[in-house]
Chain A
């Protein structure tokens, strides 16, 4: 058996790259640096997007638009959605953890295309800055993250065009990342490592990247046509000029339904890594997990029109998309039960990582249930474009993906830095986030069922109290970020050393030092054929020991 890593073409460059924290501002080719760049950059955008959400919730504490003017409200709303999706969740669950972990999981020293990787990351900050500065110059886009025409054609053009450009850049970044992940997972596996032995996150990233490569280009093409409509006054999506708005919706959702899986499939993968470690049990149902992921990928491409039941879709289309959407609940349910079964009877240590993961499981199941409800045409016609939909997708995007991001940060922080976070502060963070989140979004189900439309700055006074309740929840969510930031800061400055493998985990990223050396292992990459072999004491010791030997051999 021979080792065949690509020649490390970056070696000569390594000397030129800055050391220490300056690395994170450089065009580094190291996948670990790029991963953390994604994470930090994403988190900054999360704080900005969060501030915008705060502005929205303040506005909604009273029925009139007194805090923000209507136009400003629409801009804030659009920026909030776009930032949270394209600059926080997608780059972090894919780019940040994917870049950091995938090379370890496949036993490689870096991603397949390190340069492309760095380019993909560095497209993000300019795109984000462009988007945000548009607010201060000409006013940002006002047509929501969906940019439906004719709204997006009739609102001020400058902001909309900048929005399109920035989403195109972010889409390009996402596609480059996807290509890199597919190539790394399929082509860069360490000799002897079989596909069915990979940690689950690899499968999740493979599935996600397939979705990225197949669907993001369609969004790009659509937005290019939309920009023609705005700039050159063509009529693709402009009914006044004979165009067709429904075609935009189809093309948009052909990307954007898969996009919801681009946001949540990697989170599924991360949870599948975290749970076994902290409850000391193998991941339940590995093979069914793999098939579920692939099932979700295939079905995820053919359910898009469930977002369009009120767009005059013909009956046969409604029927098809309702059934396909109901089917997608099956693989999703399988995954849910597998996680529960993984926890079942395990030696669970109730630390921050597992708390956030369990929070994810609870929230996700609630969001999944409302999702299946929304897929039923008669019900959807009633609640479409109301706060019920807002509640549904926040249960999934925040209660699901964001909870998993926090869980992952608690889990991998010792890996990133070699320092431990304070667990009590972490549990406190979880508690406030969980309460705040549910207080913020659970009442919105009621609001939606009673007919409060989404995306409007003003509402019927009968909804005032419940909206205020929701805003209190949002305040708690905002405050919950403080103990987290404090925790990270404290730990970076004077946190206790974590040692190389504080969780005694078996996945390959833990079988090296923390933080890891530049090319991941000082010796050869370990061959981990059973990443979830917990509860088999002897072998854990064996794995860790031979890693030590590895080091001593050098």
Chain B
């Protein structure tokens, strides 16, 4: 049946506005999730390529390296802890404790930067370079692409922190989209690292 019912007019525009405001932030979250699915597919492509290379392109015995585990394990811990601290920041904002929120954000950003530093140290101590062989290239491509994500994430966290700090910033307990978005992204980047750590270092 075709029906064309005119909608009931809402009597109070202000309540209406408020309602659609929150709805809007939901859409942005939904959009972000869709984007992260896409981003995840890029990693999936890289992982698939790496695993196929490994399965069908055996390296010469003298070109096989044993990766050292201590540094990447430390990195894993750094990122996992940073996910927790970010979560703390979100909780603090919910409790309207902006100061605590800022502190946790700074801790998270520091952990992200620590991760990047230790990644750099690993790069400089590895016995192989980007173009040495297929394994080396794939190693740098995967970790580098992930490192890029961590870099962007750390910048994002600092932006969130800046917004939480300035009184006129766009972050408060009832307008926390920016923080939630950054947090989701950060958890995503951590999750990717765990998969990467397992596939690249442990398998």
Contact = CB atoms under 8 A, between A and B. Distances in A.
Interface string A147-188: 000000000000000000000000000010011101100111
B3 A217 contact: no
Given A7-B17, A187-B27, A221-B46, A250 B52 contact: yes
B38 interface: yes
Interface stretch (B76-84, B86-94, B116-124, B127-135): B127-135
B24 A7 contact: yes
Interface string A277-298: 0000000000000000000000
B6 A247 contact: no
Interface residues of B, number: 49
B34 A213 contact: yes
Nearest to B37: A213
A213 B19 contact: no
A550 interface: yes
By size class, the interface of chain A is: 35 or more
Contacts of B26: 187
B27 A3 contact: no
Question: By DSSP majority rule, is chain B's interface helix, strand, loop, or mixed?
Answer: helix
Interface stretch (B53-61, B103-111, B149-157, B178-186): B53-61
A214 B37 contact: yes
Contacts of B10: 2-3
B6 A523 contact: yes
Interface stretch (A238-246, A378-386, A493-501): A238-246
Contacts of A528: 2, 4
A521 to B, nearest CB: 11
B16 interface: yes
A241 B21 CA distance: 55
B141 interface: yes
B34 A179 contact: yes
A254 B6 contact: no
B6 A550 contact: yes
A254 B53 CA distance: 17
Contacts of A250: 48, 52
A543 interface: yes
Nearest to B1: A530
A527 B27 contact: no
Contacts of B68: none
Nearest to A553: B6
B83 to A, nearest CB: 23
Contact of B20 (A1, A5, A178, A182): A5
Nearest to B60: A242
A24 interface: no
Interface stretch (A69-77, A124-132, A226-234, A388-396): A226-234
B2 A543 contact: yes
Contact of B35 (A179, A214, A235, A542): A179
A506 B4 CA distance: 11
A179 B3 contact: no
Interface stretch (A303-311, A404-412, A533-541): A533-541
Given A228-B141, A242-B133, A244-B52, A183 B27 contact: yes
B21 A220 contact: no
17 contacts: A4-B19, A4-B23, A6-B23, A7-B24, A116-B31, A183-B27, A183-B30, A186-B30, A216-B38, A222-B49, A225-B49, A228-B137, A234-B131, A235-B137, A251-B48, A529-B1, A549-B6
Ranked nearest first, the 4 interchain pairs of A and B with the lowest CB-CB distance are A218-B45, A217-B42, A234-B137, A217-B41
Given A179-B34, A183-B30, A213-B37, 14 more contacts: A1-B8, A2-B7, A6-B24, A187-B27, A214-B37, A214-B41, A217-B45, A222-B49, A236-B137, A241-B133, A523-B6, A527-B4, A527-B7, A530-B3
Interface of A: 1-7, 112-113, 116, 175, 178-180, 182-183, 186-188, 191-192, 213-218, 220-222, 224-225, 228, 232-236, 241-244, 246-247, 250-251, 254, 506, 511, 523-530, 533, 536, 539-540, 542-543, 546-547, 549-550, 553
